[in-house]
Structure 1
C-alpha cells in the first residue's frame, strides 16, 4: 500500500494502481453493483485531458513541460490502455465528478516522476470542471462508438439485405396483412421493405449524430466559464477534432450543455427506432421460417447448434432470439435515458453516468448483435420456392384481380364459396357462373399482380 492525500486527508491505496485518494474514497463510498464506467467513456476522457493540456499551453496557462507530460501520459495510456486503474461504478455522484478525478489522478501519476509531480486538480483539471468535462466526454464517446462500431455493423447488414433482395427479386410469394392472406408480392419486394427501414434509420442516425458533435467544454462549473481562459473551449474542440478526425464543435450555450442532454435523448430515440426495425425484421423471419413441417416454412435459416435438450433434430432461430432480446434491452435503456435526462435541476443534470452507460450499452449491444445476426443467420438465409408457390396457389386473395372485371361483390362471393366448399378459386368462379375458365386464366395471374 502507499499513502496518498487529497483535500479530505490521507488515504491508503494499493501500490499496483495509478489512481489516488478521491478514486479510493469513491470505491469505499459507493459499493453498489458491478456496472463500471464504460471503457469508451474512459478513453474519451483521456482524449479530452490530452486536448485540454494542449489548449492550456496554447493559451499560456500551463507550462510547456507540464502540457507535454500530460500529452505523453495520455498517448501512453491510449496506446496500451489498462482499465484496472479505472474501477469506479456507474452508481456514483450524478455529475460524474469521481470519474473525472479518477482520470486526473491516473494521468497525473503517469505524467509525474522523481523530479516533477503533477497535481490532479491544478494541472490535469486546469480550466475545467467535472460539470463540463463529463458531458463533453459523453458526446465524444458516443460519436466514436457510433462511427467505429454501429455504422459499420449497420452498413454490413444493409449490404447483406441488398444481396438477398437481388437474389430473390423475381420469386412470387403470398403477402400477409393482419396475419391473414393478402395479395402476392415478390420475396425481393418483401426484403426491400427491410432494406428501406435500415437505410432510413441510418440516414436519421447520421442527422442526429450531428447534434452529438456539439461539446460543452469551456462552461466549467455552471456554464459561465469561470477559471477558464477565453478561447479554451474552442481550442479543446479543435484539438479533439484533429485527434479523432470527427467534426466536433463548441456549444453555442454552455448553460444548455451542462443541464440538458436532449441531444443524446434524441439520438438514442433513433437508436431505439433502429432496434424496433430489427425487432420487426427478426420476428418476420422467425415466423416465415417456422416449421419445418408445421409452420410457414417459406424461409430456411442456418442451423448453428442443437435447438433442444430433449427433442432430437430440433433447430431454433437462436440468432434472431438473441437479436430481439438486445432490442428489448435497448427499449428499456431508452426509458432510463429519457427519465434521467429530465433530471436537469437548475444548472446541472445529475444523472449523467446512468445516461451514458445506457447510451453506450445500446450502441455496443446493437452493433455486436447486428454483426452476429448478419454473419450467422441472414447471410445463410434460403427460400423454399415450392412452398411459396403452393401457398400462392391456395390463397383466396388472388380473387382481388377479378374486382375490375366482375366487381367487388361477385369476387367476394367467389372467395366465400371457395372457402366454404374447400375448392379453388377457379372452380368456385366457374361454378357460380361469374367467369369462364379462359377469363379466369387471363385475369388471375399472380406474376402480374406484383
Structure 2
C-alpha cells in the first residue's frame, strides 16, 4: 500500500472529533460518519430527491441574502454551486445510503456539505474551511432537517409527477383512444368470470382503459395538491427558531417560481412536519393506479394468448425472443414487466403507510424511507407506462377474423333472445347448442320460436355491441 501524503486528505472537525476526508471529496465529516454507519443497501438518493433538496437550498440562499441574513458573496456562491448540481455536476458526491439516520439528517448534511465545499472553491478558498462558508451556519441558515426533509419530499414528488408520470399517462391515454377508434368496428365476445358473455366492441375495450387512466390522473392530481402545502420555515420542531420573520413567505415564493407550482405555507408548521398524510394520500392514489394497470396488463396478455391454443384476438408487438429453448416463441414481456413494477409500487405503498404512523411527538423519523418509496414509485410507474405505450400499445394489431368468430359463437348471444322467447326457452336453446354444436340461430328456427327476419334483427352483433349514448 502506498503511504498517504498530506495531499490525499484534509482534516475536518465536528462536535464529535476530527476525521480525514479524501481531498477530492466535496462531502464532509458528517457525511463520512454516515457512510461508515450505514453500509446497508448500496442504494443512493434518487436524482429527483437530490434536485428537490438542492432547490430548497438555492431558494433559502436567495431568501436569506435578500433578508440580510447571510452575506451576498456567500449566497451567490451557494446559488452557483446549487445550479451546478442541478445541471448534473457533482452527482457522485451524494453518497449516503437511503436507509440512514432517522428523519434524513445524514442526507441533509451531505447536501449542506457538498454545497458549502463547492461554494468555498467558487470563492477561491479551500474545501473544509468552514469558517468562511459553513454547511450549518450558511447553507443551512434558518433551516432544520425537521422542515427541509418533509419539504423536499413534497418538492420531489411534484417534480416526479410533472416530469415523469403525468406525461406518461397522457401519452398512454392518447394511444389507447387512437386504438379505440381503429378497432371500433371489430366485434368480439365479451367474457365475465372468464366465460362467454355478450358481444362487445374491441374498440370500447381500449376506450375503457383510456377512461380508467384518465380517472386515475384526476385522482392523483387531487391528491398531489397536498404536496403544495409546505412547512418550510418551521425550523426545529415547527417553532420557526432562528428564522427571519419574512423568511417563510420569501422561500415559498422563490420555490414556487423555481419549480412552477402554486406552493403555499402550511397554516400550522408543526402539523406539516409531524403528519405524513399527504404522502400516504399520494401513495394511495399511485397504488390505485397500479392495481388497474395490473388488470389492464393481464387483459392484454389474455387477449394475446396463443397463438394456436389461446384467445389470440389481438397481437402484441414482439420485442424479443421469448424462450431459450422453444424457437419462434414470443412473450408479452412489456405487459409482464408492467405487472411486476405495479406489485413493487403496492409494496412501497404498504411501507409508506407503516412509516407514516411510526412518528413520535414532534417528528416522524421514518422520512428517508417515505422519500425514496414515494418518489421511486412515481418514477417507475411513469417509466413503465412510457415503455408500455411505446413498445406495446402503439403496435397492437387486431385479429379481426378470430374476434368475429368468437363473437358469433358465443352462447351468451342467447341473452338477446330473452325478451322474445323468454328466459327458460333461451336457456334450453343454449343448452342444446352446447350439446349438439348447432348454432343458436338454427335451433331457434327449428323450434319455431322466431322467424328468420326477427332473428336477423335481434342477433345483429354490431347493434348488440353498441354502447348506449351518454
Same fold (TM over 0.5): yes
Q: What is the distance in 1 between the residues matched to 2:164 and 2:24?
A: 32
Q: Which residue of 1 aligns with 2:176?
A: 161
The alignment's TM-score, normalised by the length of structure 2, stands at 0.93
- Residue number in structure 2 paired with 1:398: 413
What is the correspondence of 1:117-136 to structure 2 with a 5 Å cutoff? 117-136=132-151
Which residue number in structure 1 is paired with residue 5 of structure 2?
Answer: none
1:320 aligns with 2:335: yes
Report the equivalent of 2:362. 347
Residue 56 of structure 1 aligns with which residue? 64
Separation (CA, whole Å) in 1 of partners of 2:407 and 2:208: 20
User: Match for residue 289 of structure 1?
Assistant: 304
Give the structure 1 partner of residue 468 of structure 2.
Answer: none
What's the Cα RMSD here?
1.3
What residue is the counterpart of 1:188 in the other structure? Answer: 203
Q: Where does residue 221 of structure 2 map in the other structure?
A: 206
Q: Whole-Å Cα distance in 2 between the matches of residues 212 and 351 of structure 1?
A: 18
In structure 2, how many angstroms separate the alpha carbons of the residues matched to 1:77 and 1:233?
Answer: 24
CA contact (8 A) 1:5 1:20 kept: no
Tell me, in whole angstroms, the C-alpha distance in 2 between the residues paired with 1:212 and 1:261: 10
Distance 1:333 1:160 in 2: 28
Structural mapping, 1:270-419, within 5 Å: 270-419=285-434
| 2:429–2:443 CA contact under 8 A, matched in 1 | yes
| CA offset digits 1:42-76 (Å, max 9, x no partner) | 11111101111111122222222222221122112
| Distance across 1 between alignment mates of 2:459 and 2:307 | 30
Q: CA deviation at 1:26?
A: 0.6
Asked if the contact 1:51–1:236 (Cα under 8 Å) also holds between the matched residues in 2, the reply is yes
Q: 2:92 aligns with which of 81, 84, 89?
A: 84
Q: Distance in 1 between matches of 2:142 and 2:453?
A: 86
**Partner Cα separation in structure 1 for residue 389 and residue 17 of structure 2:** 54
**TM-score normalised by length of structure 1:** 0.97
> d(CA) in 2 for partners of 1:117 and 1:77?
21
Aligned-pair CA distance for 1:238: 0.6
1:9 CA displacement: 1.4
- Cα displacement (A) at 1:430: 2.5
Aligned residue for 1:17?
Answer: 25
Work out the CA distance in 2 between the residues paired with 1:360 and 1:155.
Answer: 19
Determine the C-alpha separation between the residues in 1 that align with 2:195 and 2:124: 77
Aligned with 2:269 (options 243, 254, 262): 254
Return the offset for 1:226. Answer: 1.2
SS in 2 for 1:3: strand
Q: How many angstroms does 1:140 deviate by?
A: 0.6
- Whether the aligned pair in 2 keeps the contact of 1:36 and 1:90 (CA below 8 Å) is yes
Contact kept? 2:352, 2:370, Cα under 8 Å: yes
Q: Which residue of 2 aligns with 1:269?
A: 284
Give the C-alpha shift of residue 266 in structure 1: 0.5
Task: Mark the runs of 5 or more structure 1 residues left unpaired by the alignment.
Answer: none
Secondary structure of residue in 2 paired with 1:173: strand
Match of 1:5 among 10, 13, 22: 13
Q: Count residues in correspondence.
A: 450
Gaps of 5+ in 2: 1-8, 126-130, 466-470
Cα separation, 2, equivalents of 1:109 and 1:442: 81
**d(CA) in 1 for partners of 2:307 and 2:342?**
26
Q: Does 2:75 correspond to 1:67?
A: yes
Runs of 4+ in 1 over 4 A off after TM superposition: none
Instruction: Give a deviation string over 1:300-341, Cα, whole Å, max 9, x none.
Output: 111111111111111100111111110111111110111111
CA contact (8 A) 1:299 1:382 kept: yes
Q: Distance in 1 between matches of 2:53 and 2:45?
A: 11
CA distance in 2, matches of 1:386, 1:394: 12
Shift of 1:229: 1.6
Q: Match of 1:147? A: 162
How far has the Cα of 1:224 moved from its partner?
Answer: 1.3
**Offset at residue 114 of structure 1 (A):** 4.5
CA distance in structure 1 between the partners assigned to 2:10 and 2:242 by the alignment: 32
Distance in 1 (CA, whole Å) between partners of 2:102 and 2:413 is 61
Aligned-partner Cα distance in 2 for 1:148–1:72: 24
In 1, Cα distance between equivalents of 2:107 and 2:255: 20
* 1:17/1:84 contact within 8 Å kept: no
- The CA distance in 2 between the partners of 1:121 and 1:259, in whole Å, is 23
Deviation at 1:433, TM superposition (A): 3.1
Separation in 2, partners of 1:12, 1:37: 24
